[in-house]
Each structure stands twice: as C-alpha cells, then as structure tokens.
Amino acid sequence: MLPHTNTCRPTGTSFLSPSFSLGVDLHVGVTDSAGRVHEFGKNGVRVVGGGVGAWRRCVVVDLRGDVGAGCNRAAVTDPDFPEYWDSRLRLARGRSPWSAGPRAYDETRRNCLDFCLSFLSSLPELGEAARVARHGDKVDFCRRFVTPRMRSTARYIMLHRKLRRGGGILELKGGDRSGNASSSSTSETTTDEEIRET
C-alpha cells in the first residue's frame, strides 16, 4: 500500500464485486510510513496491514502531489516528512473522540471520514486539502479530492466488467506483460483467470 495517503474502499464489498455500484457507502482510512491503514469504525481506531483483506483493492487518494491545490511540495518531499506524518497520525489517533473506542463512533457525525479529516487538518503542508478538512466540510472535500479519483476508478470498473462478461481482447501497446518495450502492438485474448489476477 502506498504510504502517506488516504485510501477508499466500498463498505462490505469490493470495487470489482458485481454487487458494487456507485451509490454504495465508502470506507476511508489513512496510511502510515509502513503502508498500514489506520481506520476508524464501529470498533474504534484500528491499524491493519495495507494490501490485505478488504484493503487489498482500494483507491488511493494521494494529496501530497497536488501542487495545484496549494500543496507545499518542498515540505512533503522533505526526508523528514514521513516521520512528521506518522507523528501527526499518532496524535490524531490519541485525541478525543477517536481514542474513546467504539463508543465514539456515530454513523453521521463521527465516522471514518471525520477521522481522516481530523488528521488531514493537522497537516497545513497539504494546502487546500488541509484547509477544507479543517472546516470539516465532507461534501466539499469529497467533491474536490475523492470524486475525481472515483471517476477514473469507475471507468476501470466498467472495463473490468465488460472483460468479465465477454472474455475480451486486451491490446498491449508499446510493451509486453513484463514491461519490456516492443516495437509493435500485440493483442491477446484474456481469460477469466487472468482478469481475476489483475
């Protein structure tokens, strides 16, 4: 899992599940330097290994590279930034209401997105994302930072579903599966097994 990012996944399903639709609730978390996901839910704050279980297929929202939104590129690329990020994340986890455990959770007022916004608001280096988070405007935050990633994700989901239904043809341009460059385009028939692996 990519460190120092926000992550999103559907609640109770996966993006590639046939039961997933764009109206389903998302669960969000924050990754630390080791790529572990810090999430807040009905059981309080917990830390899970990134890339395992329900987080195996998630959408990453990396706010560090968003220079157009006022991100301080020099600060977020500083070698000490990972340690700073982790210390701010530990502080956020230890603050009330997040430290109160399961009794702190409220589906609409203190949920996983509120936890993420609380954390992000402590990182002025993230520019506009931190300012929006500080105001606690969930709708504006999602509209500006999450929705664009979800739009591109929706395109890949539609492609995945079309390939699953029809077997599909996958055209590789400029390289083979190993990433080696080639001078010609190749087409390969993709089986259900290969699609499941991606």
For residue 114, give the nearest of 123, 124, 104 by alpha carbon.
104
Claim to verify: residue 175 and residue 149 sit in the same structural domain: no
Whether residues 88 and 185 share a domain: the answer is no
Number of domains in the chain: 2
Residues 107 and 67 in one domain: yes
If asked whether residues 121 and 23 sit together in one domain, one would say yes
Does a structural domain hold residue 144?
A: yes
Same structural domain for residues 47 and 131? yes
Does residue 161 form part of some domain? no
CA distance 139 to 91: 25
pLDDT at residue 178, rounded to an integer: 44
Residues shown for the chain: 198
DSSP string for 5-64: -EEEEETTS-TTSTT--TTS-EEEEEE-TT-PEEEEETTEEEEE-TTSGGGSS-EEE--T
Q: How many CB atoms are closer than 10 A to CB 61?
A: 22
* pLDDT confidence tier of residue 167, bands split at 50, 70 and 90: low
Residue 181 has pLDDT above 70, yes or no: no
* 110: β partners: 106
Which one is predicted more confidently, 102 or 181?
A: 102
Higher-confidence residue: 153 or 22?
153
**Residue 188 in 3-state DSSP?**
strand
Query: What DSSP line would sit under 81-127, residue for residue?
Result: HHHHHHHHHHHHHHSTTGGGGGGG-BTTTBSHHHHHHHHHTT-GGGT
Query: Is residue 43 one of the residues assigned to a domain?
Result: yes
Q: Are residues 131 and 194 in the same domain?
A: no
Longest dimension (CA), the chain: 60
Burial class (CB in 10 A: 0-12, 13-18, 19+), 114: buried
Query: Same structural domain for residues 112 and 187?
Result: no
77 and 48 assigned to the same domain: yes
**Listed residue (86, 79, 77, 90) closest to 125, CA to CA:** 77
pLDDT digits (tens, 9 = 90+) for 5-59: 888 888 877 777 777 777 778 889 999 999 899 999 888 888 888 666 778 888 8
49 and 77 fall within a common domain = yes
Place of tokens 């669960």: 27
Q: Structure pTM?
A: 0.76
- Domain carrying residue 175: 167-198
Report how far residue 117's alpha carbon sits from residue 174's, in angstroms, rounded to the nearest whole number: 41
CA distance linking residue 90 with residue 72, whole number of Å: 22
Residues 90 and 174 in one domain: no
Q: Say yes or no: 16 and 57 in one domain.
A: yes
Judge whether 11 lies within some domain: yes
On whether both 48 and 133 belong to a single domain, the answer is yes
